[in-house]
Amino acid sequence: MKEQFKEPVFREVSYDPGINTGNLIKSSNANMIGKTKITVEEDGHESVKVILKKDQDDSIKEIKFICSCGQTKTIVLDYSAE
């Protein structure tokens, strides 16, 4: 029962789009850059979907707002201290 309420964790992959031709990404050109959780919340009143992209420690990395009209706004959060 406990497993039913866990958010799924996805592997996050990065690649150089200049190297690849077409829709195929070769495994030698892909790099694993971490793991992420994706949560989708929908507001029925305003017709806005909110997509939260979190790391595996539940720190929010990206917030995406998608309107039913097609407009999309994204906020990327960077926690690195420089």
Residue 55, H or E segment: strand 48-55
Number of H helices, E strands in the chain: 0, 5
Give the pLDDT confidence score for residue 24 in this predicted structure.
78
- Residue with token string 């070769």: 26
Q: Which residue has tokens 């077409």?
A: 22
pTM: 0.58
Residue by residue, pLDDT tens for the chain (82 residues) are 455 566 677 777 787 777 766 777 777 778 888 888 888 777 666 788 888 888 878 888 889 988 888 889 998 888 776 5
Would you state the pLDDT for residue 76? Answer: 87
36 SS3 class:
strand
3-state secondary structure of 75: strand
**Residue 71 to residue 50: CA distance in whole angstroms:** 12
**CA nearest to 74, candidates 45, 59, 58, 53:** 53
